[in-house]
Amino acid sequence: MLLSDLPIDRALLSAACPWIPTGPVLDLGAGHGQISELLQAYGFPVTAVDEDTRALAAVQAAHPELQVVECDLRQFEIAPEHWAAIVCLNVTPFLPQADVEALLMHLAAGLKPGGVLIFSGFHADDPGCAYLMAEDAHGQPAPTGQVSLALLPRFFSDWPVWFAFEGPVEDDHPPQGPHRHVLSQWIIQKPEVPLATINWSALPRLGTGMGWRAALHEEILASEAIEFLEIMTDDHHSPELDQRLLALRQRYTLVPHGVELSPGTPGGASEAYLKDVARIVARCDSPWWSDHLCYTHSPRYRTHSLNPLPPGEESLATVLSNLKRARQNIPRPLLLENPAYYAAVSPDPLQEAAFFKQIVESADCGILLDVANLMGNAYNLGLDPYTYFDALPAERIVQLHLAGGRLLEEVLFDTHDRPIWQETWELLRYVLQHSDVRAVSLEWDDNYEVPARILEEVQALRRVQRQFGLRL
């Protein structure tokens, strides 16, 4: 991902911000704090490090919420795999070459998997390299430290390169006035750790949650009954909405839930789509993410609906191939949801349950069981929801969805705008009794005028969870 072909500036850093995962950011050699200010304003917790006492005092006075550390950056202890991003711009001229290379190794170790390194230093062609700008361990003048893009394969051989620049840059500041530097710069990402075999029983317990919608009243979100929020992945593909996610993440545990992965589509989701989902999952710092076991589009057309898949070898091969790609691109546990549908795709509902079971076990995915969808499918198609549930692998059921629907001309539609049906509550109790669920969330997509009614549903869900021992 090449963000720009220009040297690092505020615009380029702003463009990189949505792709920095959630977590603390370190600004080494912060100087007068312009970069720290930009990152802090975006929403990251920032630590600014510099040995210039006056500059740091001014930064702290202007931005009391920033954490500032006054020290030589060589003395700052960089905790391993702690930082979501490290910014180190043009401090290497003041370090001997051996210290530059040691610093690069420390920066690599200090980033958490998926973290971002934003770096700039003098190239050998910079006029400043003719001067003894650095100091050795004894405080004696030493040759200016140099960097080049040739260092990338040496220190960061498998890191994705988002941006790379090497060349002249015009500068103008006292006492030199207008002058030129030759810089080597890069923005690179530490590789994610591949997802190993998942211990589903070790996933965190999130408790009771709700699907976040922009129209939700603060009265609901402020309730102690809301222990996590589920955000719609496909509503947040624009990086312009990233700060909203970051602000929500500072208040809640977030879980992304999508509708366009479409594992049943030949060829599956595009690489661009999977990269966007990976960015959103990293922003949410989620214990898992989810989408539906269905198809929503063909290679040419979108259906604008969650269409169930007919059990069979062709569907199985397509789904497993697509899920493998998705899990390789997004190294967090993936849950698959059973969709609502209104026409049978198999003469035997148990064959559908066996198909679901085969997919989640073969692809090492979990289940987001939509209890309301299961009850709606039972009502509309005549299947036994309890028998269907019993055929699923209970140890893979991680999260539950609950919602209410509308009955129109004897068809129960999954509208998410009514209280939960009594039959759905009864099925929920059975599911909680026979599985070790980690989270339960309410979906409510319309009729927000009476917040108390929605809050009553969430509180009732929490009571039922506590009744069956589902605790944080």
Q: Residue-wise pLDDT tens for the chain (472 aa)? A: 445 566 888 999 999 999 999 999 999 999 989 999 999 999 999 999 999 888 888 988 988 889 999 998 888 999 999 999 999 999 888 888 888 999 999 999 999 999 999 999 999 898 887 787 777 777 778 778 889 999 999 999 999 999 999 999 888 777 778 888 899 999 999 999 988 889 999 999 999 999 999 888 888 888 889 999 999 999 999 999 999 999 999 999 999 999 999 999 999 999 999 999 999 999 999 999 999 999 998 878 888 889 899 999 999 999 999 999 999 999 999 999 999 988 888 888 789 999 999 999 999 999 999 999 999 999 999 899 999 999 999 999 999 999 998 888 888 888 888 899 999 999 999 999 999 999 999 999 888 888 889 999 999 999 999 888 654 3
Asked whether 263 and 271 are in contact (CB, 8 A), the reply is: no
Question: Which 8-state DSSP code applies to residue 217?
Answer: -
Distance of CA 196 to the CA centre of its chain: 18
Q: Are 208 and 84 within one domain?
A: no
Best CA proximity match to 107, nearest among 87, 136, 121: 87
Question: Rounded distance, CA 189 to CA 84, Å?
Answer: 10
| Distances 33 to 86, 116, 155, 397, 433 between C-alpha atoms, Å | 14, 19, 28, 48, 55
Residue 312 lies in a domain: yes
Burial 412-437 (b: 16+ CB within 10 A, else e): bbbbbbbebbeebbebbeebbeebeb
Distance of alpha carbon 115 from alpha carbon 299, whole angstroms: 33
| CATH number for position 381 | 3.20.20.150
Contact between 202 and 341 under an 8 Å Cβ cutoff? The reply is no
Length of the chain: 472
Q: Give φ, ψ of 41 to 5 degrees.
A: -65, -30
Characterize the bridge pairing of strands 134-135 and 141-142. antiparallel
Query: Are residues 244 and 206 both part of a single domain?
Result: yes
pLDDT of residue 358: 97
Q: What is the structure's pLDDT at 220? A: 87
Asked if 347 and 407 sit in the same domain, the reply is: yes
Question: Does residue 185 sit in the same domain as residue 213?
Answer: no
Type of residue found at 447: N
Instruction: For residues 132 and 215, state if they share a domain.
Output: no
pTM to 2 decimal places: 0.92
Q: Do 138 and 234 reside in the same domain of the chain?
A: no
Host domain of residue 102: 10-189
Please name every residue paired with 180 in a beta bridge, in sequence order, or none if there are none: 170
Residue 152 lies in a domain: yes
Question: Which residue's structure tokens are 């009771």?
Answer: 208
Residue 181's nearest CA partner among 83, 69, 89 is 89
Same domain, yes or no: 73 and 113: yes
What the block records as the tokens of 328 is 């390789």
Residue pointed to by tokens 């999508």: 258
Whether 323 contacts 334, CB under 8 Å: yes
Residue at a domain's end among 189, 213, 237: 189
Token pair recorded at residue 345: 């795709």
**Domain-located, residue 194:** no
Q: Is residue 2 part of a domain?
A: no
Given 159, 189, 219, the domain boundary residue is 189
Measured CA to CA, the distance from residue 56 to residue 28 in angstroms comes to: 12
Rg (CA), the chain: 26
Apex 320 CA angle, 316 and 324, nearest 5: 175
Cβ–Cβ < 8 Å for 28, 87: yes
Beta bridge mates, 188: 117, 161
Strand-pair category, 83-89 with 439-442: unpaired
- Report the pLDDT value the prediction gives residue 229, as an integer from 0 to 100: 97
Q: Do 238 and 128 lie in a common domain?
A: no
Alpha-carbon distances of 287 from 204, 228, 356, rounded to whole Å: 7, 11, 22
Structure tokens at 107: 């920066």
- Do residues 136 and 225 both lie within one domain? no
Structurally, the chain folds into a number of domains equal to 2
Is 286 among the domain residues? Answer: yes
Structure tokens at 297: 């589009």
Q: Can you tell me whether residue 57 is helix, strand or coil?
A: helix
Same domain flag for 253 and 208: yes
Q: Is residue 63 part of a domain?
A: yes
Distance (Å, rounded) from C-alpha 124 to C-alpha 16? 27
Instruction: Reduce the DSSP state of residue 342 to 3 states and report it.
Output: coil
- Domain boundary (189, 211, 242) is at 189
**Same domain as 208, residue 162:** no
CATH of the domain at 40: 3.40.50.150
Tell me how far apart the terminal alpha carbons of the chain are, to the nearest angstrom.
Answer: 39
Same domain, 278 and 373: yes
**HEC profile of 413-431:** ECCCCCCCCHHHHHHHHHH
Report if residue 472 sits inside a domain: no
Give me the DSSP letters along 170-189. EEEETTTEEEEEEEEEEEEE
Residue 135 lies in a domain: yes
Q: How far apart (Å, rounded) are the C-alpha atoms in residues 402 and 464? A: 12
Question: Cα dihedral sign for 56, 59, 64, 69?
Answer: negative
